[in-house]
Structure 1
Amino acid sequence: MFKEAAIRKEFDLQGIVPWGRRYDEYAEFFALADLPLEGAVLDVGGGPASFAAEAAGHGIEVLACDPIYAASGAAIRHRFEETRNDMMAGLRVAQYRFNWKRYGSPERIERIRREALDIFLADFEVRGRERYVPASLPALPFGNDAFQTALCSHLLFLYGDDLDAAFHVAAMKELARVAREVRIFPLINLDGRPSSHLPVVMEALEEAGLFAELVPVPFEFQRGATRMLRIRKG
């Protein structure tokens, strides 16, 4: 019991937090080198990530969706600052559970997250609903196969204590409805363990006639998080 309580205390985030990533991070943990060139990309649960803003410079058309986009830019920044202390405290306490080769330190992580936030907010101010749609899983306001690829970063599986197996199954099916291919990363919980929802999801996807596979990616921050889930239609 003591060990479980200690694990949970390392990241006391009070729910899902706005902690956005940069384009180069997406490129590695989603193995974007083999991303189909045709068709638009949907970034689901993108939060204050700068991926959609930076992708244009790489010739990729990205639409992002997240319920936080219903708020103002100032409110999103405020939410980031509200949760920043808890996230940084967790990173420092749980340093042993991460591979620091890429980032070096919790302080550098924070600098990169702030860079992503600043790039996102500048783009959010200009592009608004044109690029950022307030919407959330498991019901997205897009048509069938509206996107070539849907990406979901650091939401599904990671927040397995907040989002149950039934939610994950419904979310996966919805992602596969709106996109021809789906990529999800990471596949472990905030506590660093493989998600208990993954076997349930894999079985449900097979029953739905979807092809799901675990694909190695050239990225590891949480130790052991070296694969993404890729879903394609048969």
Structure 2
Amino acid sequence: MRFRIFEELEMVREIQSILSPEFDFDGVVPWGRRLSEYRAFFALDGMADVGPVLDAGGGPSSFAAEAASAGVRVVAADPIYRIPGATIAARFEETAVAMHEGMRRAAYRFDWRYYGSEDAVHRLRREALALFLADFEAGKAVGRYVPAALPKLPFADGAFRLAFSSHLLFLYGDRLDFDFHVAAMRELLRVAGEVRIFPLFNLDGRPSSHLPGVVEALRGDGVRCALREVPFEFQKGARRMLVAWRG
């Protein structure tokens, strides 16, 4: 009898390990990307003619800093910009620990050709953080970093030619519900002529269940939507971005 109970407990533990998320985060985490990655995520051949640009949910990405240095008019919006840079850096370090463990457990779900290794991923994230922090205070003073959160942004209608959202919408589909996604997309389309979202997979490595309904809702608003291939793949199979614009 005792052996059977032990066997059943082991079975429960095994099932729990299968069901447990490999990336166990407390909400959306600060994990920034470089401009070169944005170019790949969003199939950008160049940056000269894309502005003004909104990076919605930019976090500690260096996209705004690097794009501004290249002469692009860019604004990044994120609620994390309400806190000091030193606090953002401390949260990044906490995230790095969780990311290391998650990527170790989920290594089989990634295509490593773009980055080469987990160490290379972490190196790029630290480069992005350093560039962001070097620009943060001066950039905030001139309005490049705006403390704001979807689905309500403090910008005028049509303020931007293009809006990006990288690794926020759809990725956190288990934390941000369907209604949030629809409201966020509508808000992005209010402030920008075109919206691009990447990736379209959840943190668990599967296509977001929100995507079909979001596209249907937007098309009901008269918004044109397309899924377009991009020259980037890290989560296996995640090779498309959502592009939405008003026809």
Calculate the TM-score normalised by the size of structure 2.
Answer: 0.91
Deviations 1:175-230 (A, max 9, x none): 00000000000000000000000011010000011001101000001111100000
Greater alpha carbon shift after TM alignment, 25-34 vs 173-182: 25-34
The one of 86, 93, 96 equivalent to 2:108 is 96
1:2-151 alignment, distance < 5 Å: 5-6=17-18, 8-33=20-45, 37=49, 39-129=51-141, 130-151=143-164
Give 1:108 deviation, angstroms. Answer: 1.4
Rg: which structure is higher? 2
Distance 1:231 1:59, change over 3 A: same
Match of 1:180 in 2: 193
In 1, distance between residues paired with 2:140 and 2:51? 21
- Residue 173 of structure 2 aligns to a residue whose secondary structure is coil
Stretches (4+) displaced over 4 A: 1-5
Deviations 1:44-98 (A, max 9, x none): 0000000000012333211000000000000100111122111111011111100
List gaps (5 residues or longer) in structure 1: none
In 1, distance between residues paired with 2:20 and 2:215? 26
Do the aligned partners of 2:230 and 2:241 also contact (CA within 8 Å) in 1? yes
Greater alpha carbon shift after TM alignment, 183-192 vs 10-19: 10-19
CA RMSD of aligned residues (A): 1.6
Do the aligned partners of 1:36 and 1:148 also contact (CA within 8 Å) in 2? no
Match of 2:214 in 1: 201
Pairs aligned (count): 234
List gaps (5 residues or longer) in structure 2: 1-11
Do the aligned partners of 2:47 and 2:72 also contact (CA within 8 Å) in 1? no
- Residue 21 of structure 2 aligns to a residue whose secondary structure is helix
In 2, distance between residues paired with 1:196 and 1:218? 23
Distance 1:217 1:38, change over 3 A: closer
